[in-house]
Amino acid sequence: MRLVIARCSVDYAGRLTAHLPSAPRLILVKADGSVSIHADDRAYKPLNWMSPPCTLKEGSGDDAGVWTVINKAGEKLIITMEEVLHDSSHELGVDPGLIKDGVEAHLQELLADRIETLGEGYTLIRREYMTAIGPVDILCRDADGQTVAVEIKRRGEIDGVEQLTRYLELLNRDPHLSPVKGIFAAQEIKPQARVLATDRGIGCAVLDYDALRGIEDDKLRLF
């Protein structure tokens, strides 16, 4: 991971345009190729970002100090450096992934045992399908035989959608699995997370914990 603290302005050009005026900011460049711009507030949420896969080109000559980040859709994030205050790189290695709490782990187990609740004809491939960036909660196939990756949370937020997006980008590189679609499953899904998931072609499933345990009616709403 590369950490850069700089006074910079940022311009985004894609489906819409956005401009961040000059100010001191933190720029994170991760090993997966993602680039995100942070201010000293808003908790973990970046001001702007580019998800992988994308390429970063650092300018030279008259364009020295200009970074251009381009994703596979041709969208651009242009970072104009005015003053670099800090620039360092750190090797973090492979992260073991988030250890789920008891409810999430149990939801995974229940859904794997009753995978057909996602849809008629669904079949389980395996739980905890390991990838180079961590385990996918559930890998299964739908009635048409298409591979489906399921990410399970107790409360579905944007970071969970981002996590599933990274898994899908990696899984779709495997010719034995692709095309792979995603389902983001949680007991509660925040509106912002639902909008992001829909924009990325990811389905959303609201899980009823008691129903999966057989305490109430057997229901699972898939949107």
Task: State residue 195's pLDDT score.
Answer: 95
pLDDT tops 60 at residue 102: no
Q: What confidence category does residue 219 fall into, taking pLDDT thresholds of 50, 70 and 90?
A: very low
Q: Report the pLDDT value the prediction gives residue 61, as an integer from 0 to 100.
A: 87
Average predicted confidence (pLDDT) for the chain: 88
The whole-number pLDDT of residue 218 equals 44
State the greatest distance between any 2 C-alpha atoms of the chain, in Å, as a whole number.
Answer: 68
For residue range 147-183, what is the model confidence (pLDDT) as tens digits? 999 999 988 999 999 999 999 999 999 999 999 999 9
Interacting residues of 102 by C-beta distance below 8 A, sequence separation 6+: none
Residue 184 near residue 155 (C-beta atoms within 8 A): no
51-89 per-position pLDDT tens digit: 888 999 999 888 889 999 999 889 999 999 999 999 999
Report the pLDDT value the prediction gives residue 191, as an integer from 0 to 100. 94
User: Averaged over 121-142, what is the pLDDT?
Assistant: 93
Mean pLDDT calculated for residue range 25-48: 88
The whole-angstrom separation of Cα 106 and Cα 154 is: 10
What pTM was estimated for this model as a whole? 0.55
Distance, in Å, from the CA atom of 172 to the CA atom of 84, rounded to the nearest integer, reads 37
User: If residue 185 lies in a helix (H) or strand (E), which one and from where to where?
Assistant: strand 180-189
What pLDDT is recorded for position 91?
Answer: 87
**DSSP label of 204:** E
CA 181 to CA 6: how far, in whole Å? 38
Cα first-last separation, the chain = 36
Cβ distance 44 to 37 under 8 Å?
A: no
Three-point CA angle 139, 93, 101, nearest 5°: 50
80 has which bridge partners?
9, 66
Residue 32 pLDDT class (50, 70, 90 cuts) = confident
On the question of pLDDT at 98 being above 60, the answer is no
Q: Whose structure tokens read 């961590």?
A: 134
CA 38 to chain centre: 17
Q: Residue 56: which of 23, 16, 28 has the closest Cα?
A: 28
| Residue 217 predicted with pLDDT over 80 | no
